[in-house]
Amino acid sequence: MSDRTWTLTVHGGSGRFERGIIPAEADAGARAGLGRALDAGSAVLAAGGTAVDAVQAAIEVLEDDPHFNAGRGAALSGEGRIELDAAIMDGRAREAGSVAQVTTPRHPIALARAVMDEGTHVMLAGPGAEAFAAARGVEAADAGWFELPERRRQLEELLARGNDAFDVDMKYG
Partner 1 sequence: TVGAVARDANGHVAAATSTGGVTGKRWGRIGDSPLIGAGTWADDACAVSATGAGEYFVRVGAGRTIAARVKMLGESIGTATDAVLGEIVALGGTGGLIVVAPSGETAWRFSTPGMYRATASAEGARVVAIY
| 1-30 binders of partner 1 (CB under 8 A) | 1, 3-17, 20, 22, 27, 30
159 lies in the site for partner 1, by CB under 8 A: yes
Of 19 and 137, CB closest to partner 1 = 19
Please give the backbone phi and psi of residue 140, each rounded to the nearest 5 degrees, phi first.
-105, 160
Nearest to 95 by CA among 114, 73, 81: 114
Query: Beta-carbon neighbour count of residue 25 at 10 Å?
Result: 9
142 lies in the site for partner 1, by CB under 8 A: no
> What 3-state DSSP class applies to 94?
coil
138 lies in the site for partner 1, by CB under 8 A: no
Answer for which of 18, 19, 24, 48 binds partner 1 (CB under 8 A) is: 48
Answer for which of 114, 130, 132, 151 binds partner 1 (CB under 8 A) is: 151
Torsion, Cα 51 52 55 57, to 10 degrees, reads -110
